[in-house]
Chains A and B, each alone.
Chain A
């Protein structure tokens, strides 16, 4: 069975600082991994996804994530935070043979001026 753990329910960074949101997964088969973002009062939207084509995945709004099999991680990063990045971020995993996506508990990102 697959699962995903997001370390840190709340992360706060200064504007212009590096953003690092952590995600570790557990899967018995090579997984498909996703990051979704939920801006205040909006629905979830896909930020990026890992499909095994490349370990470094680039998404929208300058975010990227790197798949590290040895560490079972898929951490989300952005070199320089912007105020508009304030949102809830969800990591998700889907095993190739399973039907459903499993989401993590989410990390709320706050940006300090």
Chain B
């Protein structure tokens, strides 16, 4: 049962490598968000998927970042040619999105460290 799950929980990579982060939302939730939480910073919005609509990618910081959501369920966030400033906790959240006040349910996050 469950809640939102993310994998891996921790990822250490070398600068210049590509990484993939996975998010499994709560079953039946139509909307999925990715956020980035850097040390001492708030949650930075990255991307939002809602059903079959085109995703809102307005928060992606550069073209090295991309995300997809297959079958309206699992989502993968890919960071190409990682840089040290990409080090952060990447959080995923899902919601039923029945309205603007729907509760977001967050996963535990993936802590990414770029050496």
Contact = CB atoms under 8 A, between A and B. Distances in A.
Contacts of A43: 3-4, 91, 106-109
25 contacts: A36-B104, A36-B106, A43-B108, A44-B91, A44-B104, A45-B106, A46-B103, A46-B104, A90-B43, A94-B101, A96-B100, A99-B50, A99-B56, A100-B58, A101-B45, A101-B104, A103-B35, A103-B42, A103-B43, A104-B42, A105-B40, A105-B41, A105-B42, A106-B41, A106-B42
Contact of B48 (A49, A96, A100): A100
B33 interface: yes
Contacts of B3: 43
Given A43-B109, A90-B42, A102-B45, A49 B50 contact: no
Contacts of B40: 9, 105
Contacts of B33: 100-101
A92 B106 CA distance: 14
A7 to B, nearest CB: 13
Interface residues of B, number: 24
A36 B91 CA distance: 14
